[in-house]
């Protein structure tokens, strides 16, 4: 399941890159990847806490 989510996150920035002017494509990819990490980290952190306690 996690692999599927990562694949989707990689595909979305590629779509953004195609639709944006070259000057903005790198910026759009960085924002998409940062957004993905911010969304994913809290759930991963909770899973680790549950494991430890």
Question: How far is residue 47's CA from residue 53's CA, in Å, rounded to a whole number?
Answer: 10
- Mean pLDDT on 29-49: 55
User: In this model, does residue 20 exceed pLDDT 50?
Assistant: no
- Listed by start position, the domains of the chain span 2-52
- Looking up tokens 């595909």 gives 11
> How confident is the model at residue 19, as a pLDDT?
47
What mean pLDDT is reported for the chain? 53
Question: How far is residue 18's CA from residue 20's CA, in Å, rounded to a whole number?
Answer: 6
């Amino acid at each position: 399941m996690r692999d599927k989510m990562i694949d989707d996150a990689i595909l979305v920035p590629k779509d953004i890159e195609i639709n944006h002017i070259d000057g903005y494509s790198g910026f759009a990819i960085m924002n998409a990847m940062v957004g993905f990490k911010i969304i994913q980290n809290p759930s991963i952190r909770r899973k680790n806490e549950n494991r430890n306690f």
